[in-house]
Each structure stands twice: as structure tokens, then as C-alpha cells.
């Protein structure tokens, strides 16, 4: 196996720092696009190693690579984030199997060609398992980062053979993002109630089933004050739903409605959308109308018809979602809007609703024309209060 370790010589007489590496990657982000495929591959692998040292995870490094280089598929980005050439990736694969395989770089190339839609063939589910374990070892080959097969094909899942799609879903349901033999996930907040599956409006070829949890109130008729633990649990649930959409959702802008929504948008943009630009919409509601405060902030779209994720803390009876959708479509013509909400109010006392239409704001969300809807939890009137009474 080639030497993929990093020494002081790699970064100039040992004077390397994460900040310097991040700056170097940013400067060179556009360089490889016009080079030969081999030179471009070497440069992207170098960038991947530097980003791994900056962020400490292959997943974060891969996300930043995909954000900087359009049309770079997940399968290839994760290899670069692990700092590997195709031949080195094949060698790592054989190491993971205990040398019971003799995979070559040409096979890795065929899988990545398929991911780029330029020919090749899809990797079988069993090979995705091995690749996830291999890439999780990082550039130095000694890390133990939990990656899953779904991470590697998040942008091309729907093109896998039906049998592998079924295997991938079963694996994801069984392990929920945890590798085999990994420690169990941290327990949910005591405020979180039972889990159930809800069918929601979604994009074409998207997965309409989302896992939702209930937020039962211990004092009916009063606002439920949430702790930071359940707030974080809800955001993690939204991230899980976005990952399970069936294709890789690339957001150009993430908007937060009011302060609680802004906090949600900040977490989602950082954890899921490669630190995309964040917008802020401050709503002013009166008994007659909804308006936007002039302090609202609209980032400049870098593409035509941007993909926008709108984050809100609650959906009740007021048509805030529809009002916001109209405002954003006026400002960003042709935008594709997705909606992520923390808490959705139910029409009846049973929080485990059997249908999306059992939610108070179901009609509002449908009429807004969102490409897909993500919901972390259900709640009863009068609703929930975010930590520190964020508005």
C-alpha cells in the first residue's frame, strides 16, 4: 500500500496548522477542474487529507469537497476525504476483508463511473459495507469513524438494483447510522415520547416515510418548555429524515424563521448542507396579517432556481409557511423549497397521528407547495416553547 501518512514535510517544515490547511484548500478549490483526470484526482485526495485534519472526520471532509466541487458524487468524495487513490482504496478494501479479496483499482473506478453516470457498474451492498469500513479508517488508516453504506450512495441510492435498495433500507433501519458492533446511541431526552412513522408529502422518487416522536405535555393546556437535550434530539431527527430522503439533498440556502428557526437552520447548514449560506426571516404577526421585519436577511443565490430549505420551530393554525413560501419565490424565482419543522400541532389529543392530514397545519404545508416536508415531533395545543424562550 502506498504511503498515505502525513509528515512535517507535507506542510512545510512542520509549520502546519488546521487554519493554514483550510486556507490552502480554499485557495486551490477550483484548481483541479481543468487538469487531467489523474492530476485532478491527486489534488482532490490532497485536499481531502487536509480537510480531514481540519475537521477530524471523513464525513465532514467529504461534505466540504462536494460543496466546493459540483457534480462530485458521494462515493468519490468519501474516497478523497480518506486521502486515497483508486488503487489505495482497493488496497484498503482488501485489508478490511483480511486479504480474502483481491480487488483492484479498476473495480473502484467502475463503481465511481457509475456514480458519475458515465458508465461503469454499481457497487453491491456487500462491497459498500466494506468501503464504508475502509474509508472510516481515514487517511492514516487508524481511525474508527462510523460510516454507513447509505453515506456513500446518498446521491444515487435510487439507481441501485432493487435488492440492494432493500438491503440498504433494512441495514439503515436496524442500525440507524451506527456501524456493526458500535456502541448504542445516546438515549433520547426524557421529554420525548413514543416514536412512530408518518407519511408526508415528498419529492418525486423521495421517501415519504419519516420517523417522528411525540412531545406529550405533563400539564395539558400549558406550553411545554423544552430542554436543550430534546431540542438537539429533534434536530438530529430532522437530519436523519433528510439523509433518508432517497437522494442527496443539496441546499443552496438554509432559511430560519425567527430566532428558533435560525438556530435550527444554523445546525442543519453546518451538519448536513456543507455550511451553505444562512438566511433569516423575522415574522411579525398581528391579528390581521403577517409581515416581515426589515432586519430579515436574504443571502445572494449563487445559482438560478436555488434549492432552499426553510426551518421553522412550530406549525399551528397561522399560515406562516405559506406566506414565507410566497415571499421566497418572489425573491428567488424558480426556487425549489423544502420545509423542516420541529413541532407540528395535532388536531386531536392523540399525538401518534395516523395521517398527515391529522395535523393542524397539513393544508397549510400542502398549499405552500414544498418539494418535501420534514417533521421532528408532534405536539398538542397550546404548543411548545424552545430553550431560553427563543422567539
* pTM exceeds 0.75 for this model: no
Question: In the chain, where are the structural domains located?
Answer: 8-175, 195-389
CB atoms closer than 10 angstroms to residue 295: 8
* Whole-angstrom distance, CA of residue 107 vs CA of residue 193: 46
Four-way CATH pick for 195-389: 3.40.50.2020, 3.40.640.10, 3.90.79.10, 3.30.360.10? 3.40.50.2020
SS3 letters for 89-113?
Answer: HHHHHHHHCCCCCCCCHHHHHHHHH
Q: Quote the radius of gyration of the chain (alpha carbons, Å).
A: 22
Which residue do the cell numbers 483541479 mark? 32
Distance of CA 47 to the CA centre of its chain: 21
* Whole-angstrom distance, CA of residue 176 vs CA of residue 241: 11
CB atoms closer than 10 angstroms to residue 67: 16
Residues of the chain with pLDDT under 70: 1-35, 175-188
Give the contacts of 349 (CB within 8 A, at least 6 positions apart): 380
DSSP-based three-state secondary structure for 215: coil
pLDDT tens for 13-47 read 333 344 344 444 443 444 444 568 788 888 998 99
Q: The C-alpha cell of 151 is what?
A: 453515506
Q: The C-alpha cell of 9 is what?
A: 514535510
Amino acid at each position: 500500500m502506498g504511503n498515505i501518512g502525513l509528515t512535517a514535510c507535507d506542510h512545510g517544515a512542520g509549520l502546519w496548522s488546521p487554519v493554514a490547511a483550510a486556507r490552502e484548500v480554499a485557495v486551490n478549490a477550483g484548481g483541479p477542474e481543468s487538469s487531467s483526470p489523474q492530476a485532478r484526482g491527486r489534488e482532490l485526495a490532497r485536499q481531502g487529507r487536509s480537510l480531514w485534519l481540519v475537521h477530524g472526520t471523513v464525513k465532514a471532509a467529504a461534505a466540504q469537497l462536494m460543496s466546493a466541487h459540483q457534480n462530485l458524487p458521494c462515493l468519490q468524495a468519501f474516497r478523497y476525504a480518506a486521502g486515497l487513490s483508486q488503487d489505495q482504496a482497493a488496497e484498503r478494501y482488501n485489508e478490511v476483508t483480511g486479504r480474502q479479496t483481491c480487488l483492484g483499482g479498476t473495480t473502484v473506478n467502475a463503481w465511481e463511473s457509475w456514480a458519475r453516470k458515465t458508465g461503469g457498474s454499481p457497487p453491491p451492498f456487500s462491497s459498500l459495507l466494506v468501503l464504508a469500513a475502509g474509508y472510516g479508517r481515514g487517511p492514516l488508516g487508524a481511525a474508527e469513524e462510523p460510516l454507513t453504506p447509505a453515506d456513500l450512495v446518498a446521491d444515487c441510492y435510487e439507481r441501485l438494483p432493487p435488492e440492494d435498495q432493500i438491503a440498504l433500507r433494512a441495514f439503515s433501519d436496524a442500525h440507524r447510522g451506527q456501524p456493526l458492533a458500535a456502541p448504542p446511541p445516546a438515549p433520547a431526552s426524557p421529554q420525548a415520547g413514543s416514536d412512530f412513522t408518518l407519511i408526508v408529502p415528498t419529492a418525486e422518487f423521495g421517501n415519504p416515510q419519516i420517523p417522528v416522536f411525540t412531545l406529550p405535555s405533563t400539564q395539558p393546556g400549558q406550553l411545554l418548555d423544552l430542554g436543550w437535550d430534546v431540542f438537539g434530539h429533534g434536530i438530529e431527527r430532522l437530519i436523519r429524515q433528510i439523509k433518508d430522503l432517497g437522494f442527496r439533498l443539496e441546499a443552496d440556502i438554509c432559511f430560519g424563521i425567527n430566532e428558533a428557526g435560525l438556530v435550527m437552520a444554523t445546525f442543519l447548514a453546518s451538519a448536513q448542507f456543507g455550511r451553505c449560506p444562512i438566511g433569516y426571516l423575522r415574522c411579525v404577526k398581528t391579528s390581521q396579517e403577517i409581515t416581515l421585519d426589515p432586519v430579515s436577511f436574504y443571502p445572494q443565490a449563487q445559482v438560478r432556481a436555488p434549492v432552499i430549505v426553510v426551518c421553522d420551530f412550530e406549525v399551528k393554525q397561522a399560515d406562516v409557511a405559506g406566506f414565507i413560501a410566497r415571499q421566497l419565490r418572489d425573491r428567488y424565482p424558480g426556487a425549489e423549497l423544502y420545509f423542516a419543522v420541529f413541532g407540528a400541532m395535532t388536531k386531536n389529543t392523540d399525538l401518534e397521528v395516523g395521517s398527515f392530514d391529522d395535523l393542524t397545519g397539513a393544508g397549510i404545508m400542502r398549499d405552500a407547495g414544498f418539494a418535501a416536508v420534514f417533521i421532528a415531533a408532534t405536539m398538542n395545543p397550546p404548543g411548545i416553547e424552545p430553550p431560553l424562550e427563543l422567539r
